[in-house]
Amino acid sequence: MKRVGFMMKVKQELIDEYKEHHRNVWPEMKEALSACGWKNYSLFLLPDGRMFGYFETPESLQAAIACMEETEVNGRWQAMMSPYFELPEGARPDQTMMEIEEVFHID
């Protein structure tokens, strides 16, 4: 199992709305994430909008994202979430996850 950490940036003025969407993640989105191997998935958000994400997956961040790209629900979710992130023009949030190297883990 690979542990994946990643960083992103939520627009500070939209943090409350962003958090509300994540209190009500669509059941079909949760099902797709689970089916694509996103286990123990968590998001952490600082007041300035910097976000850290963590999940465990059988292979890699790239493989987990590729699996999600094959689902219809992911396209809808990414389109809805795009306005909340500081992204390059035309990019989706799942295309800009900056993976963080794991340098230590203790069981």
Over the stretch 24-62, which tens digit does the pLDDT of each residue have?
999 999 999 999 999 999 999 999 999 999 999 999 999
64-89: string of b/e by CB count within 10 Å (b at 16+)?
bbebbeebebbeebbeebbebbebee
According to DSSP, residue 58 is labeled: S
| pTM for this prediction | 0.90
CA-wise closest residue to 10 among 50, 69, 42, 56: 50
Domains of the chain: 2-100 (3.30.70.100)
50-93: pLDDT as tens digits: 999 999 999 999 999 999 999 999 999 999 999 999 988 878 88
Catalytic residues: 22
